[in-house]
């Protein structure tokens, strides 16, 4: 990008560029040069807004985690409507979108990034722990509506759904699982706790 041409929202443009690189070439291809080239800006733009590349990546993960939090709030608000199985099937499919799957792989492969993320999230992978908390909140709300057994341990069910979902979606290069496959996993995990047909 020529000198003097301003980016309207440089942070978001860099995040969008990073997501495109992740989707096209995977976590190993995500470098500061790849991101700035994809964004069409000088490398210095990234370093003007972030202390270093791991700081940039940590903010990218935090941005995605905030999106998970927003979807979790909407899911919880929808408790009592639709079916529990359908809601959870959709939620898992949204959690494990292609960008999130690539970011999980990135977090697990970069020590510096994990160290940055530990500043606010001392355990787990932030995207997944946030998603598990969101599912637990939804299941708790459904329990309050009487659609989940009162004795159901939502703090066990939610991470079980996340783990099973991750196994389905983890192959970034393969075809995404079909909704019926996701639904089968959801039913397998919650079958004994749901109080609806």
Whole-angstrom Cα distance, residue 194 to residue 197?
8
The count of other CB atoms within 10 Å of the CB of residue 177 is 19
pLDDT the model gives residue 1: 41
- What's the token pair of residue 168? 């389905």
Q: What is the per-residue pLDDT for 7?
A: 53
Q: How many CB atoms lie within 10 A of CB 41?
A: 20
Q: Do the beta carbons of residue 100 and residue 64 sit within 8 Å? A: yes
Let me know: does 29 contact 37? Beta carbons within 8 Å: no
* Rounded Cα distance, 158 and 7, in Å: 40
Q: Which two tokens stand for residue 34?
A: 């790849």
Q: How many C-beta neighbours within 10 Å does residue 109 have?
A: 11
**Exposed e or buried b for every residue in 132-166, given b needs 16+ CB within 10 A?**
bbbbbbbbbbbbeeebbeeebebeebbbbbbebbb
pTM value surpassing 0.75: yes
Whole-angstrom CA distances from 156 to 73, 141, 145 are 19, 15, 19
Q: Which domains are present in the chain?
A: 1-49 (1.10.10.60), 67-190 (1.10.357)
The whole-angstrom separation of Cα 150 and Cα 142 is 10
Provide the sign of the torsion angle of the four alpha carbons 83, 85, 89, 92, taken in this order. Answer: positive
Q: Look at residue 194 and tell me whether its pLDDT is greater than 60.
A: yes
158-170 pLDDT tens trace: 999 999 999 999 9
State what percent of residues in the chain have pLDDT above 70.
95
Two structure tokens written together for 169: 């979606």
Q: How far apart are CA 156 and CA 149, in angstroms?
A: 14
Q: How much is the pLDDT for 196?
A: 73
Average pLDDT over residues 113-124: 86
**Does residue 146 surpass a pLDDT of 60?**
yes
- Hey, what are 48's tokens? 């003007």
Residue 167: its pLDDT value, please? 94
Residues 56 and 46 sit within 8 Å (Cβ to Cβ)? yes
């Amino acid at each position: 990008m020529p000198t003097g041409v301003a980016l309207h929202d440089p942070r978001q443009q860099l995040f969008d560029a990073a997501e495109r690189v992740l989707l096209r070439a995977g976590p190993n291809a995500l470098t500061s040069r790849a991101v700035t080239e994809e964004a069409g800006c000088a490398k210095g733009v990234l370093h003007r807004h972030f202390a270093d590349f791991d700081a940039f990546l940590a903010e990218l993960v935090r941005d995605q985690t905030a999106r998970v939090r927003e979807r979790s709030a909407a899911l919880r608000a929808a408790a009592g409507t639709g079916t529990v199985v359908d809601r959870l099937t959709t939620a898992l499919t949204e959690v494990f979108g292609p960008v999130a799957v690539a970011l999980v792989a990135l977090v697990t492969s970069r020590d510096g990034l994990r160290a940055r993320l530990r500043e606010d999230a001392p355990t787990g992978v932030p995207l997944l722990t946030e998603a598990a908390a969101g599912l637990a909140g939804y299941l708790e709300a459904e329990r309050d509506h009487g659609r989940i057994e009162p004795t159901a341990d939502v703090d066990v069910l939610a991470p079980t759904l996340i783990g099973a979902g991750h196994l389905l979606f983890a192959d970034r290069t393969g075809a995404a699982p079909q909704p019926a496959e996701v639904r089968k996993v959801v039913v397998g995990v919650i079958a004994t706790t749901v109080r609806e047909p």
